[in-house]
Structure 1
Amino acid sequence: MTDQAVDTEAVRLTDDMSGGDGFLGRVRELKELRADIERAGLDTLSGRKAPRARVLLIAGRPGSGRTALAGELAARVADRYPDGVLRARLSEPDGTRVPVERLARDLLTALDRPAPPGAGEEDLTAALREALDGRRALLLLDDAADAEQVDALLPDAPDCLVVAVARGPLTGIADVRPCTLGGLDTKSAVRLLSRHAGSVRVTVDPRTAEHLAEICQGQPAALTLAGGWLAARPQAAVADLAKHLNAEADEGDPLGRVLGLVHASLPGSAARMLRLLSLAPAGLVDPHTASALAGCSVNGARVLLDDLVALGALRRADSPLPEYEVPGCLHARLAALAAAHERPAELQLARARMLERTVRLLMSCRAITETDSPQAREKLLGMPRALRFPTPRAAAEWLRLRRPALLASARLAVADGELDTLARRLMSQLVRAVVAHVGTRAAAADLYGVHRLVLDVAERRDLPREKAAALLNLADLDARTGRTAEALTRYRAALDAGREAHDPYATGRAMESVGGAHLELGDYDRAADWFGRALAQRLARDERADAARVYGRIATAHTYAGRYGEAQRNWRAAVAGHRRAGDVAAHARALSELARVQEYAGRPEESLQTCQEAVEWARRAEDTRLQAALRLRLADTLERLGDPAAAGLHRGAADRLLRENPAEACEFRSASDEV
């Protein structure tokens, strides 16, 4: 497995500003880190095999080049770890601690391992340790908030290596190998400055260049910005910049002073854009996001973003899209600039514009999949050209690549608390777009997180209808992943919320789902009782098709309980209901289930007759799989009745059906399994 095979767009490094296309300096640090990999740990020295992966720590302030050093180390030793390099960022750009649950889920996804939606931290970290057991992989954990975070992700695999990046020591992790970073050496610092500012001005005034490197304390982030400032001013000398920075020697750290100078020298529109980038979700910004934040055109936003890249205040993301990353070391400083120069109402308006633009992009992303809908086509044509996607494939690719930013947008919108209406619209469109392009099952983990956010807003705003919907969606995902007890609790809560909202749909579905959870738990009496309550509501509302389906679920509960007489009566009611509703396929399936119960009840002749009737209805429904299954069941019944010749005919017919339709399987789902 290669590094590329396991790295995903959801697991990225964005903390420090790198020095450009080539790595500079840190020769001593790299040598020490590589030596630490070879050095025996405490367990090995005591004669015991190391129980866990070795941990190397690169500690330093944001902007010191700690992430770049970790990446360079990983690149140099990657060939020793054939199972790949896994990367994860443990803090949000604003310093918020990323939950271990989300980190473990992303790492499992990178390893192509299943991560059940809704699973807790312990289950996911255990699954991660199991996935890494026996492997030789390198985990690069950037911007760790605390030792507990790193410890939870450590694999129980001594052949793995963990390189952690943090601001300070990780007390509590045994045998950690620390490497504390200061500034770059003077030669490397000057080369980095020259790389961005051009070599001529540095060559003609090397002493001042060295002095400027000292003013920046050798910090790669500060030097990158300083080089960008000089590159934008071909007539300025290195001494001019050094003079500006010396004049502000008492105004904070070097990175803050250089950023302040860069910000003050920008035109008003570019300066405002730079400040507002602190609002970009997950530190990821594209031209649409920047356009909405600053209130300018998409093309204008892209030009400004490219200008900021040239200045060193932004960097292009490794993405096929025009996408950019805000360096983590600048985030807090940009937020402080925004707070100082923008009124709170203006910042809130910028957030609202960004969320509204995201909602419209998601609407366009979903609408392009509805090729047969005139309303969808009309809606697309009514959107600005910049918001439209050329093809469904392009929309799906945009959704995949922007996934981290879209999920972060939903989290930030809900955390804001003042934009709940926009947050609800955003989450609704996100769910619809993901289902349209990815599917409910494939995107279950992401959908689970979004439904939890919907529930948070519904509870905060006292919206019982939305609370019921969120609880039902979460419970369905719980039930699908085997957490039936948790699903039952949520179904009961959804029932209460549905009743409070006077929502008959939510109430009916919740009652039926409560019955389904009891059925799964083996409590057939309670299951039949709850199905009966759901049936009463369906009948009262004259919902005949749904009532017929619920009759089948009641029959299933009685079948499992061995009450075949009650089961037959309910299956006959289901058959009659489907016949009146004109649902030929459901009619055929209900007859097949009735035949099965008759056979269980010891009535093979009745089962044979019912099964023959079901075959005819399955033929009318053009359900080849059901026809084949029924033919095989008829053959088994005829053999038990002593007619092997007729049984052979039915087996032959089933074989012909399957040969003519090789994609069809002879197994079929019973109507009782459908909700």
Structure 2
Amino acid sequence: MTDQAVDTDGVRQSGEPAAEGHFLGRTRELKELRADIERAGLDTLSGRKAPRARVLLIAGRPGSGRTALAAELVRQVADGYPDGVLRARLSEPDGTAVPVERTARELLAALDVTAPPGAGEDELTEALRTALADRRALLLLDDAAGAEQVDALLPEAPDCLVVAVSAGPLTGIPDVRPCTLGGLDTKSAVELLTRYTGSVRITVDPRSAESLTEACQGRPAALTLAGGWLATRPQAAVSDLAKRLHTADEDGADAGPLARVFRLVHDQLSGQAARILRLLCLAPAGLVDPHTASALAGCSVGAARATLDDFTALGLLHAVDSPVPQYEVPGCLHPLLRSLAETRDRPGELQLARARMLERTVRLLQACRAVTETDSPEAREKLAAMPREVRFPGPRAAADWLTARRPALLAAARLAVADGELDTLARRLLSQLVRAMVAHHGTQAAAADLYGVHGLVLDVARRRGLHREQAAALLNLGDVDARTGRTRAALARYRAALEAGREAKDPYATGRAMESVGGAYLELADYDRAADWFGRALALCLARDERADAARLYGRTATAHTYAGRYGEALRSWRAAAAGYRRNGEIAAHARALSEVARVQEYAGRPEESLRTCQEAVEWARRADDARLLAALQLRVADTLERMGDPAAARLHRAAAERMLAEEPSESDTEPESAEKACEIRSASDED
């Protein structure tokens, strides 16, 4: 979501972002739209305060320059909206409507508002309305598939303005101000051609130029392709192109001017270039880079980059402002590309091209992650063994690539899963995408994207009957639900993961699911069930002699008993946990467990025993050389002494704790941001 004036449904009218001096024509439309902004709405006329933002609609067929007009309007009025401009595209290149929750999340991210991972449409749209309630912002909603999408995103703020772009009316949204586009006027259309051909070729034959604009029906997309074609053929006469298009129109070979010009441009490309162009309909999210084009066509990256630059000169692609070379397929050309590909390329060839693209993406994601893991000679050797064209010069370049290609990578994952015939590649792609995001952004920062990816993993695993991977995906989804307060949803996920783990006969997944079920019940204050499920997980750990996990589960069981007021059982479990930590050599954990024993003893009304246990924990904390833990335990001793009627000794312990905390650097200075590790259960087919 970038603040660029790019005509995503057509082609840029000038080959550049819309700016003063570059935008052509549409003077009447702009004047009417600006007047509509100032005009009183129906609510105002009836004496009521407008409940929501005003909506202006720019309607027109793809290729009519509707997005360019919207971008120019936004540029002209943006100063009146100090809280900025938000942009979102509401349709995929193939015309599929983008889910409202995805759009709302992207808009919230643009506002620097963090939305809970996995939140539903209602929660996200409510958060968006709340974020915009006190703002004066402008929303450009491009390529809306229907009124429902726009209506769900409307701010409940009369000071905001929404500019929507659509092919037709937005029936159901009250007081919408429509502006329907046709072709450019002749003067502007000829000027657009002049920008590509130069003034001489137009001046010497103005009638042919007007004839050409007539053949293109003044459509900016068709005129841009015609101008690009003429610009790359200095010897071609404008009259020749005009005659060709008029002849094609008379023959009825194509449905419209854009299709006629596009077919002409395509048919005069070299065989390899034409094939690359057709295959661009497979580019995820309509975003293509040299690697994508190279993999689709089976050519070198350098050759693909040169071809993409040639396409940009012809107006067939837009160059995207990005830290890495990236291009956008205009939305109006996508159906034409897809139709040609289905006509001229065999289904098997298209599937092979898609598989090559996914394989290259997997390799790039592997390299993107591997460049962050060069601490060991083995990792450096593994990185050096990768093909040079997929390696990154350093972690910064890899992070920039991952950020720039994020929309395309997520779209590639969705398309691979939806395809249904490339599930092995889809699974590898999802696995590498998760690892790359975690390596560069961390689990917490990438949680929203990872939630969607884990959902895709679950879809493939269910389709293929892969119970082990089902369990992993369900556990990851449940963990996110639990962290965001959706405890009952998390509980359902964990129970499903338990069933999948049992089907897979996987003790790790089964035990992890049992513990997670117990944790969910603990959060729901159902302490009896929590203790029961922790006990089941503990029994499994003890049977497999997993001592570290057993010690932790003793502690979790003790916590449930403590909350339930069963202090005797809680003490037994905490002592077992402390003994387990001591046997495992985890001195700090042993001290913490003893501290919890002291806490339960205090709850049980045995302060003397609590004081002795707490002092023992202090000694173990000194052995662990953990200053923060030692300070916390000193404060615990001080509190206990105060309750026992010894304030002087309590002050000494409290003063000692304060000295330790003053000498210890803050936790944020010494420890990186913690990130909960995702549950990763890899299948035998996964490659690294």
**Which TM-score band (shorter chain)?**
over 0.9
Residue number in structure 2 paired with 1:15? 9
Distance in 1 separating the partners of 2:248 and 2:635: 88
For residue 515 of structure 2, the aligned residue among 509, 512, 515 is: 512
> Amino acid of the residue matched to residue 559 of structure 2?
T
Q: Does 1:456 align with 2:450?
A: no
Distance in 2 separating the partners of 1:598 and 1:11: 68
Distance in 1 separating the partners of 2:219 and 2:361: 36
Could you tell which deviates more after superposition, 194-203 or 265-274?
194-203
1:606-632 residue CA offsets vs partner (Å, 9 max, x unmatched) = 222221222222223232221111111
Task: Report deviation, 1:12.
Answer: 8.5
Q: Does 1:422 align with 2:425?
A: yes
> Amino acid of the residue matched to residue 341 of structure 2?
A
Q: Does 1:315 align with 2:309?
A: no
Tell me the SS of whatever aligns to 1:151.
Answer: helix
Task: Report deviation, 1:11.
Answer: 12
Residue number in structure 1 paired with 2:597? 594
Distance in 1 separating the partners of 2:572 and 2:238: 92
Could you tell which deviates more after superposition, 565-574 or 396-405?
396-405
Residue number in structure 1 paired with 2:229? 229
Residue number in structure 1 paired with 2:686? none
Task: Report deviation, 1:654.
Answer: 1.1
Residue number in structure 1 paired with 2:156? 156
Distance in 2 separating the partners of 1:368 and 1:358: 15
Residue number in structure 2 paired with 1:36? 36
Pairing of 1:118-197 with structure 2 (within 5 A)? 118-197=118-197
Distance in 1 separating the partners of 2:10 and 2:292: 22
Could you tell which deviates more after superposition, 129-138 or 590-599?
590-599
1:193-221 residue CA offsets vs partner (Å, 9 max, x unmatched) = 11112222111111110110010000000
> Amino acid of the residue matched to residue 16 of structure 1?
G
Q: Does 1:564 align with 2:577?
A: no
Distance in 1 separating the partners of 2:564 and 2:283: 57
Pairing of 1:342-491 with structure 2 (within 5 A)? 342-491=345-494
Distance in 1 separating the partners of 2:532 and 2:285: 48
Tell me the SS of whatever aligns to 2:13.
Answer: coil
Task: Report deviation, 1:371.
Answer: 2.1
1:45-65 residue CA offsets vs partner (Å, 9 max, x unmatched) = 000000010000000000000
CA contact (8 A) 1:511 1:534 kept: yes
Tell me the SS of whatever aligns to 1:248.
Answer: helix
CA contact (8 A) 1:141 1:150 kept: yes
> Amino acid of the residue matched to residue 200 of structure 1?
V
CA contact (8 A) 1:55 1:177 kept: yes
Residue number in structure 2 paired with 1:656? 659
For residue 629 of structure 1, the aligned residue among 613, 632, 646 is: 632
Distance in 1 separating the partners of 2:667 and 2:218: 67
Classify 1:231/1:10 alpha carbon distance in 2 versus 1 (closer, same or farther; 3 Å): closer
Classify 1:527/1:481 alpha carbon distance in 2 versus 1 (closer, same or farther; 3 Å): same
Q: Does 1:270 align with 2:273?
A: yes
Distance in 1 separating the partners of 2:91 and 2:317: 19
Q: Does 1:612 align with 2:615?
A: yes
Distance in 1 separating the partners of 2:408 and 2:515: 37
1:58-84 residue CA offsets vs partner (Å, 9 max, x unmatched) = 000000000000000001000000111
> Amino acid of the residue matched to residue 92 of structure 2?
E
1:430-484 residue CA offsets vs partner (Å, 9 max, x unmatched) = 0001011111111111000000111111111111111111100000000000000
CA contact (8 A) 1:531 1:553 kept: yes
Task: Report deviation, 1:646.
Answer: 2.3
CA contact (8 A) 2:323 2:400 kept: no
Could you tell which deviates more after superposition, 395-404 or 84-93?
395-404
> Amino acid of the residue matched to residue 625 of structure 2?
E
Distance in 2 separating the partners of 1:222 and 1:341: 22
Task: Report deviation, 1:641.
Answer: 2.1
CA contact (8 A) 1:12 1:89 kept: no
Task: Report deviation, 1:107.
Answer: 0.6
1:617-664 residue CA offsets vs partner (Å, 9 max, x unmatched) = 222323222111111111111222232332222222212211111314
CA contact (8 A) 1:413 1:420 kept: yes
Distance in 1 separating the partners of 2:274 and 2:521: 60
> Amino acid of the residue matched to residue 353 of structure 2?
A
Classify 1:415/1:11 alpha carbon distance in 2 versus 1 (closer, same or farther; 3 Å): farther
Task: Report deviation, 1:14.
Answer: 2.5
Classify 1:437/1:13 alpha carbon distance in 2 versus 1 (closer, same or farther; 3 Å): farther
Pairing of 1:60-139 with structure 2 (within 5 A)? 60-139=60-139
Residue number in structure 2 paired with 1:3? none
4+ residue segments displaced more than 6 Å? 9-13
Distance in 1 separating the partners of 2:360 and 2:3: 22
> Amino acid of the residue matched to residue 185 of structure 2?
D
CA contact (8 A) 1:13 1:88 kept: no
Distance in 2 separating the partners of 1:312 and 1:86: 26
Distance in 2 separating the partners of 1:391 and 1:402: 17
CA contact (8 A) 1:544 1:581 kept: yes
CA contact (8 A) 2:5 2:68 kept: no
Task: Report deviation, 1:190.
Answer: 0.5
> Amino acid of the residue matched to residue 637 of structure 2?
L
Could you tell which deviates more after superposition, 38-47 or 600-609?
600-609
Tell me the SS of whatever aligns to 2:332.
Answer: helix
Classify 1:496/1:253 alpha carbon distance in 2 versus 1 (closer, same or farther; 3 Å): same
Distance in 2 separating the partners of 1:529 and 1:645: 44
CA contact (8 A) 1:211 1:242 kept: yes
> Amino acid of the residue matched to residue 11 of structure 2?
M
Distance in 2 separating the partners of 1:419 and 1:14: 29
Could you tell which deviates more after superposition, 436-445 or 517-526?
436-445
1:6-39 residue CA offsets vs partner (Å, 9 max, x unmatched) = x549999732211123110000000000000000
Cα RMSD between the aligned structures? Answer: 1.7
Distance in 2 separating the partners of 1:228 and 1:27: 25
Distance in 2 separating the partners of 1:72 and 1:232: 28
CA contact (8 A) 1:658 1:664 kept: no
Classify 1:473/1:10 alpha carbon distance in 2 versus 1 (closer, same or farther; 3 Å): farther
Distance in 1 separating the partners of 2:647 and 2:3: 61
Q: What 5-or-longer segments of structure 1 have no aligned partner?
A: 1-6
> Amino acid of the residue matched to residue 182 of structure 2?
G
Q: Percent identity?
A: 78
Distance in 2 separating the partners of 1:356 and 1:10: 31
Distance in 1 separating the partners of 2:294 and 2:86: 33
Could you tell which deviates more after superposition, 365-374 or 448-457?
365-374
Could you tell which deviates more after superposition, 583-592 or 32-41?
583-592
> Amino acid of the residue matched to residue 318 of structure 1?
D
Distance in 2 separating the partners of 1:511 and 1:120: 27
Distance in 2 separating the partners of 1:196 and 1:11: 20
Q: Does 1:493 align with 2:496?
A: yes
Q: What count of residue pairs does the alignment treat as equivalent? A: 664
CA contact (8 A) 2:6 2:12 kept: no
Q: Does 1:201 align with 2:201?
A: yes
> Amino acid of the residue matched to residue 579 of structure 1?
R
Tell me the SS of whatever aligns to 1:435.
Answer: helix
Distance in 2 separating the partners of 1:564 and 1:389: 57
Q: What 5-or-longer segments of structure 2 have no aligned partner?
A: 17-21, 680-688
CA contact (8 A) 1:23 1:72 kept: yes
Tell me the SS of whatever aligns to 1:192.
Answer: helix
Q: TM (normalized to structure 2)?
A: 0.95
